[in-house]
Amino acid sequence: MTPVPDYKVRKHFPPGPRQQPLVGNLKDIPSGGNEWDAYEALGKKCGIDVVYFNALGSHLVVLNKFEAARELLDKKGSIYSSRPRLVMINELWGWDWNLIMMPLGKAFQAYRKVVQQEFQPSVVAESHRIIIARETIAMLGRLMKTPDRLPEHLKQMAGATIMAITYGHHVTSADDEFVALAEAVREHAEKTPGSSIVDVIPLLKYLPSWFPGAQFQRDAEIMRRLSLDMRLAPYNAVKKLIDYGTAVPSIITRLIQSESPLEGVPAGEFAMNAAGVIYSGITVSALLNFALAMSLYPEVQERAQQDLDRVVGRDRLPTFEDRQELPYVSNLVKETLRWKAVSPLALLLTARCNSAMLHDESVYTSPHEFDPNRYNPTPKRPTGEPDPSRAAFGFGRRICPGRYFADDALFLAIACMLHVFKISDPSESRERAQVQWSSGLVRRVSPLVPSPFPYKIIPRFSGAQDLSRVSERCIMKATR
């Protein structure tokens, strides 16, 4: 290959910080946490919404405005929706099976079509809502018993919901084998850099793991094994149940018993890969952010609970059918997605969309405050401030195919938690400086999670405990 002179490359990219000889903008690229804020600051410093970086020959374009993202990723998705070569993640971690990591092509189209069909609004309403309700109510019961273990209960709820829908597997314990495998992959991904010097110098992928400085190879071996175990263990379990004639209908049973839509990939392998990509921690991250917001903004919580008492009363739990009568709670769900984006750095071809879009002061009033009223119509804004889902779930061909499912799951969990519990800050302080959100290039595959924060959860009224217990028994009978 003949190197292209920098001045020729720059002609095809937006402006950006001045480049240094050899390394380009390597020192300008933010790292060490909260990178999305630093990207936004760089954009403001340069006076532009689209910022270009060149680091050792790797090109990076940062999009800080919704309009820029929509122009490039929605209207020109065929150009900007693919993936670069991801040596560390795809080639060493062995994640090339993952829809999120796939470049555009026949494989991407086949996997995305299947996932999209399984999570379209009509399927979510007809098939998945009953499972969402069952696991949400079960979570309320666990939270009633041990309110100090909120993150654990949310993880079990999210894992149980996905496992039931994807594999027909009923999770009954926080120690469930399959949920533990999926969580191990997610947790190890958070601890392991998603990018490495090997992405800049691909030839280093051939270094043996024992070679000095090749820790990335040893980390990759662990990730490769965990990735395979996470997909293979539940797949094999379902295969046995199919052979015995006792398998519960699920996404993977339908895929196993159908012809593979991808030439050259057996139906079993296609099913295993498609099912493996569905597990996500986005719901958990958003609900932890919601709990944090409620502890910091008690007036918002009280306003939502007034509506719940008026519409639902105290003799039952909220349902999906109540949503139209609960506009403030629906707005609270929107604000949860906007206030702290669960994926502030979205990996694209050579573009990164960060949470600057959801905190744009020209779009959102006091963007760092948690205010569900911002979506109400006003004389100046007849339709209210923009729905954050336009950016929170991605753009174009990479928009999240599970967005309708995630929205339903978040609404019911938030409505039920608000109805049954009071969430507060035991220190009675609105100080949030000590809460940090993990970040880094691993956010390509893992959602944003807040660091531990103080909270207190208690039943909101005297019959709350009995209500959750009776509701759990009823939903369990309905789903047998």
Write out pLDDT tens, residues 435-446.
877 654 444 445
User: Dihedrals φ, ψ of 363, to 5°?
Assistant: -115, -45
pLDDT at 6 over 60: no
Q: Going by C-beta distance under 8 Å and a sequence separation of 6 or more, which residues neighbour residue 240? A: none
Percent of the chain with pLDDT over 70: 87
54: helix, strand or coil: strand
The answer to whether residues 150 and 291 touch, using CB atoms and an 8 Å cutoff, is yes
pLDDT at 5 over 60: no
pLDDT (0 to 100) of residue 346: 47
Rounded average pLDDT over 111-128? 94
> Strands, DSSP E only, in 351-433?
351-353, 421-424
Query: For the chain, first and last CA: distance in Å?
Result: 62
10 Å CB burial of residue 280 (0-12, 13-18, 19+) is: buried
Q: Is the C-alpha dihedral spanning 161, 165, 171, 176 positive or negative?
A: negative
- Rounded CA-CA distance 16/331 in Å is 37
What's the pLDDT band for 32 if we cut at 50, 70, 90? low
- Rounded CA-CA distance 252/274 in Å is 8
Q: For the segment 300-309, what is each residue's pLDDT rounded down to a tens digit? A: 999 999 999 9
- Rounded CA-CA distance 223/95 in Å is 9
pLDDT (0 to 100) of residue 226: 92
- DSSP H helical segments within 120-149, as ranges? 121-123, 129-145
pLDDT (0 to 100) of residue 137: 94
pLDDT (0 to 100) of residue 183: 82
The answer to whether residues 112 and 422 touch, using CB atoms and an 8 Å cutoff, is no
pLDDT (0 to 100) of residue 204: 87
Q: Is the C-alpha dihedral spanning 462, 466, 471, 476 positive or negative?
A: positive
DSSP state at residue 267: H
Rounded average pLDDT over 380-406? 90
- Rounded CA-CA distance 475/480 in Å is 9
Question: What type of residue sits at position 435?
Answer: V
HSE-up of 401 (CA within 13 Å, CB side)? Answer: 21
Comparing 49-63, 200-214, 317-331, the range with the smallest average pLDDT is 49-63
pLDDT (0 to 100) of residue 229: 94
pLDDT at 418 over 60: yes
- Rounded CA-CA distance 209/205 in Å is 10
Got the DSSP string for 292-322?
HHHHH-HHHHHHHHHHHHHHT-SSS---GGG
Higher-pLDDT residue of 364 and 349 is: 364
pLDDT (0 to 100) of residue 178: 92
Rounded average pLDDT over 153-169? 94
Comparing 271-275, 339-343, 412-416, the range with the smallest average pLDDT is 339-343
Question: What type of residue sits at position 306?
Answer: Q
What's the pLDDT band for 213 if we cut at 50, 70, 90? confident
209: helix, strand or coil: coil
Comparing 52-61, 355-364, 441-450, the range with the smallest average pLDDT is 441-450
Question: What type of residue sits at position 111?
Answer: Y
Rounded average pLDDT over 427-434? 64
- The pair of structure tokens assigned to 356 is 């600057």
Question: What type of residue sits at position 218?
Answer: R
pLDDT (0 to 100) of residue 477: 60
- The pair of structure tokens assigned to 82 is 């693919």
What's the pLDDT band for 433 if we cut at 50, 70, 90? low
Rounded average pLDDT over 19-47? 75
Rounded average pLDDT over 55-67? 80
Q: Is the C-alpha dihedral spanning 424, 428, 430, 432 positive or negative?
A: negative
Percent of the chain with pLDDT over 90: 50
User: Dihedrals φ, ψ of 120, to 5°?
Assistant: -70, 155
Report how many helices (DSSP H) and strands (DSSP E) the chain contains, helices first: 19, 6
pLDDT (0 to 100) of residue 195: 57
The answer to whether residues 171 and 156 touch, using CB atoms and an 8 Å cutoff, is yes
Q: For the segment 90-117, what is each residue's pLDDT rounded down to a tens digit? A: 899 998 998 888 888 999 999 999 999 9
pLDDT at 344 over 70: no
What's the pLDDT band for 41 if we cut at 50, 70, 90? confident
The answer to whether residues 191 and 48 touch, using CB atoms and an 8 Å cutoff, is no
What's the pLDDT band for 478 if we cut at 50, 70, 90? low
pLDDT (0 to 100) of residue 237: 96
The answer to whether residues 72 and 83 touch, using CB atoms and an 8 Å cutoff, is no
Return the H-helix or E-strand segment holding 335: helix 327-339
What's the pLDDT band for 428 if we cut at 50, 70, 90? low
- Rounded CA-CA distance 475/16 in Å is 56
Is 400 a known ligand-binding residue?
yes
What's the pLDDT band for 429 if we cut at 50, 70, 90? low
pLDDT (0 to 100) of residue 122: 96
DSSP state at residue 461: S
User: If we measure between CA atoms, which residue out of 28, 75, 90 comes closest to residue 56?
Assistant: 28
User: If we measure between CA atoms, which residue out of 141, 139, 124 comes closest to residue 404?
Assistant: 124
Q: What is the mean pLDDT of the chain?
A: 85
Higher-pLDDT residue of 447 and 471 is: 471
- Rounded CA-CA distance 61/349 in Å is 9
Which residue ranges form the domains of the chain, and what is each CATH number? 65-478 (1.10.630.10)
pLDDT at 297 over 80: yes
pLDDT (0 to 100) of residue 247: 95
DSSP state at residue 24: B
